Amino acid sequence: MSNPLSFVNPTPDSPWQTYLSQVDRVLPYLGHLARWADTLKRPKRALIVDVPIELDNGTVAHYEGYRVQHNLSRGPGKGGVRYHPDVTLEEVMALSAWMSIKNAAVNLPYGGAKGGIRVDPKQLSQKELEKLTRRYTSEIGLIIGPQQDIPAPDVNTNAQIMAWMMDTYSMNTGATATGVVTGKPIHLGGSLGRVKATGRGVFVTGREAARKLGLDLQGARVAVQGFGNVGSAAAELFGQAGAKIVAVQDHSGCLINTRGFDLSELVPWVRQHGGVGGFPGGEPLTAEEFWDVDCEIMIPAALEGQITADRANRLKARLVLEGANGPTLPAADDILAERGILVVPDVICNAGGVTVSYFEWVQDFSSFFWTEDEINLRLDKIMQGALRRIWDTADQHGVTLRTATFAVACERILMAREERGLYP
């Protein structure tokens, strides 16, 4: 995937093109605000940085880093940082735009932002990873801050990386600034419940959608792609609700177990071995066969563009819960709708993570911390309320949940844009 030369010139089938086509679908429902819609089709600000580090062997390596602030009309930028060898500016643009939509859909007082480094972190030692993170944080320090733009974990980043980011930003500004990132370790201003919050949100929205479909979670068969932070937490909650996890796929392998995996063995295995590959409690499956598995619920929780038109035609599930950002291509979305397969879209389904990030940010400012039960109850309430509003909008316009989420969110963003006005 190459970077676009302009915001309006997307690479075919890229996440940015997917996002732009999702915006086009919502235009008829924006009323007089549609005149502001081009605001949504270009990021406000995109920063590319060179991140040089000295490797353990003494050579100097250069990595490309990005931070994109898509829209700041409703508040500071908010969104994670991804470390992956395939990250591009264009991908980060899309991820930042989905953050704008997501944050507005759950009515958090944030705009949308996202960052990334084009690197395979698995090739780096812990020391090199720390140097990379600190240099990247210094470089994007120009535009991040507790009131400007607040990063968080995403693919291949975690609480330790957030701690290094917080420390680097604090050293550079001369005061401890816990509110500059979320997803931190608990004793450094992190919030209880954040690690599993995205998976919990997937479960809460999935539970509500299943109820609407009349689908009993007891005994329901679930397939999960991506068994990292989001996929594993969602799988555990579905398991606790009586569902069976019958297929799992990640970068290391793909497995099936029609009786349901024993998660008390699979989760520690993944923690120890870095992936599901080689787990003895299931039979191997090819990566492509995963999409043909008999199941009621499919949870894509890895990367973008996974549900293609071909896979959408083959999918057996009744319900797709988008734990990942951008897992479904627009053509596949149409096929799923035609086939009556309900999709709970990323921009609401995986919003649990940023919602608890918001709780963390609020707790950091007040230096007063809530219990995990309080966090989970508030998360449940916000996610249910947001989904209800989206469902009403879908029913009102006769559109998919994705277009309804965009309608609710874009109205909020563009209303703020209009009220703020254009000129300094």
Ligand X SMILES: NC(=O)C1=CN([C@@H]2O[C@H](COP(=O)(O)OP(=O)(O)OC[C@H]3O[C@@H](n4cnc5c(N)ncnc54)[C@H](O)[C@@H]3O)[C@@H](O)[C@H]2O)C=CC1
Tell me the catalytic residues.
114
For ligand X, the closer of residues 282 and 417 by Cβ is 282
Q: Residue for token digits 């191997």? A: 284
CB of 118 to ligand X, least distance (A): 15
Where do we find the tokens 């992936």? 275
Which one, 80 or 305, has the nearer CB to ligand AKG? 80
Task: By CB under 6 A, name the binding residues for ligand X.
Answer: 153-156, 198, 225-231, 249-251, 275, 301-303, 323-325, 350, 353
Q: Answer whether 199's CB lies under 8 Å from 232's CB.
A: yes
**The one among 73, 205, 357, 393 contacting ligand AKG by CB under 6 A:** 357
Residues 153 and 133: their CA atoms lie apart, in Å, by 12
**Is 198 known as a binding-site position?**
yes
Residues in region 293-332 near ligand AKG by CB under 6 A: 325
From ligand X, ligand AKG, none, interface partner of 302 (C-beta below 5 to 8 A by class)? ligand X
Name residues contacting ligand AKG, limited to 379-418 (CB under 6 A): none
β-pair type (297-300, 342-344): unpaired
What is the per-residue burial (b if ≥16 Cβ within 10 Å, else e) of 327-353?
bbbbbbbebbbeeebbbbbbbbbbbbb
Alpha-carbon distance of 227 to 253, in angstroms, equals: 10
Instruction: Please choose, out of 10-18, 72-80, 184-192, 410-418, the segment that lies near ligand AKG by the rule CB under 6 A.
Output: 72-80
What, of ligand AKG, ligand X, none, does residue 116 touch, CB below 5 to 8 Å by kind?
none
d(CA 275, CA 389): 37
The C-alpha angle 173, 175, 181, rounded to 5 degrees, equals: 80
Q: How far is the CB of 396 from ligand X (least distance, A)?
A: 27
Q: CB 201 → ligand X: shortest distance, Å?
A: 8
Backbone φ and ψ for 178, nearest 5 degrees, come out as -65, -30
Query: Which stretch in 75-83, 214-222, 233-241, 374-382 sits in contact with ligand AKG by CB under 6 A?
Result: 75-83
Site for ligand AKG contains 154 (CB under 6 A): yes
Q: Which stretches does DSSP call E strand in 135-270?
A: 149-150, 221-225, 244-250, 253-256
Please report, in range form, the residues annotated as the binding site for NAD(+): 198, 229
Interface ranges with ligand AKG (CB under 6 A): 78-80, 102, 152, 154, 182-183, 325, 350, 353-354, 357
